[in-house]
Amino acid sequence: MTTVALEVSEVDGAAVVRPSGLLDLTSYRELRDRLLKCAADGPTAIVARLDDGFRCATPVFMSIFTTVWTRLAEWPGVPLLLVGESTGYRQFLASPAASRMVPAFTTLAAALDAVGAPPERRRDEIQLPDSLVGALVARQFVRDACARWGLGHLEDNAVTVVTELVENAVRHAESAPVVRLEYRSGRLSIAVRDDSTEHPREPDSRTTPPTGVGITIVARLSRVWGCSPWPSGGKVVWAVLG
């Protein structure tokens, strides 16, 4: 099985990563998940340095950076930037074949200068017990945050979403979940972390009658929702409202 190594360092609040090895079908998911993990704690940006130590089995696999950029733009709102540090990557990133969505630079210094100040955020987090009592605590936690942040228009949906996510974490992941709330740029994100690596899935409406509960109602009430790996293990299931 092919593996891709990822060297990670912190520079001025940004996570600077340097992938190495061969990116192909067997290592694509591994690298994608490692890049997503780097964003979990909310650095100012992720800057990927690309040189000859990192090879793609075919140029189409460079789409991994567009995939990661799209996911990070929704949660946790961390930008992804690319730096071409070899002649080959500088030429590719300047070519029409490269994604126009992911910003590209020729030096690390230029990429860091482009990061700028992150948008203002309000953030709060709470550790819950490994029981359904946690859902009660989570609901009050959300109500209090919405009151402090002037988000009464989002409160009802936010309370419903956090209830479903916390109950899923307790019942199915058998975990003591951690709830993180963040408000930025008019959007409220609700993230629930648990110890399981199994990703939740919305039921197939063709085979499962819609009941309006569980992850189905999370999908209906949210602008977007998803699941990302957590650096220390487990996962975080998140939803964005607003």
- Take residue 8 and report the two structure tokens written for it: 């990670």
Q: Give me the residue spans of the domains in the chain.
A: 4-115, 122-241
pLDDT at 188: 96
Which amino acid, 211?
T
| Beta strands at 104-105 and 4-11: parallel, antiparallel or unpaired | unpaired
Catalogue the long-range contacts made by 55-62 (C-beta closer than 8 Å, 24 or more residues apart): 55/21, 55/22, 55/23, 56/22, 56/23, 56/24, 57/22, 57/23, 57/24, 57/25, 59/92, 59/97, 61/23, 61/24, 61/28, 62/92, 62/98, 62/99
One-letter amino acid for residue 223 of the chain: R
pLDDT at position 204: 58
3-state helix, strand, coil in the chain (%, to 5): 35, 30, 35
With beta carbons less than 8 A apart as the criterion, state whether 171 and 217 touch.
Answer: no
Q: Which amino acid is at 144?
A: D
State the fold for domain 122-241: Heat Shock Protein 90 (3.30.565)
Per-residue pLDDT of the chain (242 residues; tens, 9 = 90+): 668 999 999 999 999 999 999 999 999 999 999 999 999 888 999 999 999 999 999 999 999 999 999 999 889 989 999 999 999 999 999 998 888 889 999 999 999 999 977 778 899 999 999 998 999 999 999 999 999 999 999 999 999 999 999 999 998 888 899 999 999 889 999 999 999 988 887 665 555 544 445 789 999 999 999 999 998 889 999 999 98
Q: Specify which residues 82 forms β-bridges with.
A: 48, 104
Which of 104, 98, 74, 105 lies closest to 242, judged by CA?
A: 74
122-241 and 4-115 share a CATH fold = no
Predicted TM-score (pTM) of this structure: 0.83
> What pLDDT does residue 211 have?
41
Output the CA–CA distances (angstroms, integers) from residue 85 to 9, 36, 92, in the order listed: 16, 22, 11
Determine the CATH number of domain 4-115.
Answer: 3.30.750.24
Alpha-carbon span 168 to 187, nearest angstrom:
23
SS3 110: helix
DSSP H helices in the chain: 28-38, 63-74, 87-93, 108-115, 133-149, 152-171, 215-221
pLDDT for residue 137:
97
Q: Give the per-residue pLDDT at 85.
A: 97
Q: d(Cα 7, Cα 88) in Å, to the nearest integer?
A: 20
DSSP structure class, residue 118: P
